[in-house]
Amino acid sequence: MPNFETVVVDTDLLIIGGGMSACGAVFEAAYWAKKNGLKVAVVDKAAMDRSGAVAMGLSAINQYINYAKGVNTLEDYVKYVRQDLMGISREDLVYDIARHVDSSVHLFEKWGLPIWKDEQGNYVNEGRWQIMINGESYKVIIAEAAKNAMNEAGFTDWLYERVFIVEPIMDFDNNKCLGGVGFSVRENKFYVFKAKATIAAMGGAVHVFRPRSVGEGLGRAWYPPWNAGSTAYFTIRAGAEMTCQEVRFIPVRFKDGYGPVGAWFLLFKSRATNADGEEYMVTRKGELPKWAPYGEGKPMPANLRNWLGMEDVMAGKGPIFMRTEEAIANLAAKYKDDPKAFKKKMKELEAEAWEDFLDMTISQSLLWAGMNIQPEEKSSEIAAAEPYFIGSHSGASGAWVCGPEDVMPDEYRKQWEPIGVYNHMTTVKALFTAGDGAGASSHKFSSGSHAEGRIAAKGAIAYILDNNVAPKVDDAVIAKMRDTILAPMARFEEFAKLSSDPDINPNFMKPKMFMFRL
């Protein structure tokens, strides 16, 4: 086995991850760290420009309150999340994100993200809370802004890419996180990051459940397959209290390509019907009173909408189709008496249909092209995907975190008073999280995750200023962690020659085989 160099990095704030919440944390930390003379280290197992769930881009921003213009209130959004999650939400966290998210969206536009606008200059809404964007380069723009913030603040040698942080460094006697350890995925280097506060923002967990795409299609999922559960693992290993692990997200998406359905339902006003042409949202309406009051409220919770469709499939009425051809025809219908205007509108709608996928799920565009599907002529099948552990969409799994002091209920506040009341700190001292890592605060999506990262960074900096003591880590502890992390390589080298196929061996199991056994 090659000799791994040990690289030790001492910092004040450690941010692990490179997705939307991590970028939000980096952007916010740049200001407060510079102001207070603190050091920041950011570690991403990939490259920040295309890291995280937004790597491929998005066609919409799903959380925008439009609070300043009085279109919606913060309380409106809290009620919406409560309704969609059927009562399972930390309303203090949802409220806190909602009051900050618009500022993140306005920053996105300032940084160069193209947001659709109408003739009056207002954002074009897909739904009540969603606004349309040309978002293929969304993540690149956000990452660039985070990097610029750090560089313009005068920080150097702060970004460590292609470094996979695996384990937290813990002082279990004092319930405190002291940083993290991991390895380079490109070089023979073992990294030790010692920090006064750590933000774990490494995304959610995919492939816990078997995906629909198997065999040659393995790796195609709705949520990115590199979201390997690192945040949950890190916080659980640190001893942090977790919440809502049973609230997993099962999205309904275009079959095989996992293309988004939001634009079709909300912007194009499409229906979904079963193989008999029945609209399950109508024919199975009688199921909804069983789930009152949420089943009778508006909007209908996403899981109930999905459940009605799944009932049709289980009753042998599948598959379910998105009626794209019907939706496009309906939108173009008012131009039917003007052939030139009708043709122009059809071309416009066709372009928007394809761009929806090209902005965020290119594989779905390839599937349509490969099967010669024209959405204005033919319906496409949609299906429920496998469950995902995420805290940012319609799932709620993640760590139980401290809320904002001004709106957090006293019963929650009491839990943190012994260790410190710092926004988005877990039940472990000095360990913070955001995005998919923070539980019970669903429907933050990309913009809310960015805002939540900013919130966590501000809380972490406040913690450091109140507890500005360099972490003391025993070298023997680090040596043991190094041996544990590198052990699979040593084991493979020792036993690989006992079989002719590296995937079959009595002494070890490779990660892919372990995943299959889940």
293 class by beta-carbon count within 10 Å (0-12 exposed, 13-18 middle, 19+ buried)? exposed
Catalytic-role residue among 356, 359, 386, 452: 356
Contacts of 98 (CB under 8 A, 6+ apart): 63, 65, 67, 74, 77, 78, 448
- Please, are residues 376 and 61 in contact by the beta-carbon 8 Å criterion? no
Catalytic-role residue among 394, 442, 446, 449: 446
Catalytic-role residue among 82, 220, 253, 450: 253
Catalytic-role residue among 21, 59, 62, 125: 62
Task: Establish whether 305 is a catalytic residue.
Answer: no
Task: Establish whether 222 is a catalytic residue.
Answer: yes
User: CA 197, CA 435: separation in Å to the nearest integer?
Assistant: 17
Kindly state the tokens that stand for 486.
């590198």
Task: Establish whether 62 is a catalytic residue.
Answer: yes
403 class by beta-carbon count within 10 Å (0-12 exposed, 13-18 middle, 19+ buried)? buried
Cα→Cα distances 176→162, 171, 375, 500, Å = 26, 5, 54, 46
Contacts of 502 (CB under 8 A, 6+ apart): 492, 496, 510
Catalytic-role residue among 82, 393, 443, 450: 393
β-strand pairing of 131-135 with 40-44: unpaired
Helix, strand, or coil (residue 308) = helix
Kindly state the tokens that stand for 377.
């002529």
Buried b (16+ CB within 10 A) or exposed e, 429-467: bbbbbbbbbbbbbbbbbbbbbbbbbbbbbbbbbbbbeee
Task: Using alpha carbons, select from 258, 130, 146 the residue that is nearest to residue 199.
Answer: 146
Kindly state the tokens that stand for 100.
């900050």
- Please, are residues 24 and 451 in contact by the beta-carbon 8 Å criterion? yes
Task: Establish whether 106 is a catalytic residue.
Answer: no
User: CA 137, CA 46: separation in Å to the nearest integer?
Assistant: 17
- Please, are residues 375 and 322 in contact by the beta-carbon 8 Å criterion? no
Where do the H-state alpha helices sit in 90-137?
A: 91-111
Exposure of 265 in the CB half-sphere (CA atoms within 13 A): 18
Catalytic-role residue among 126, 359, 386, 452: 126
Task: Establish whether 253 is a catalytic residue.
Answer: yes
Phi, psi at residue 517, to the nearest 5°? Answer: -75, -15
Catalytic-role residue among 32, 129, 158, 222: 222
> So which residues are the catalytic ones?
62, 126, 222, 253, 356, 393, 446
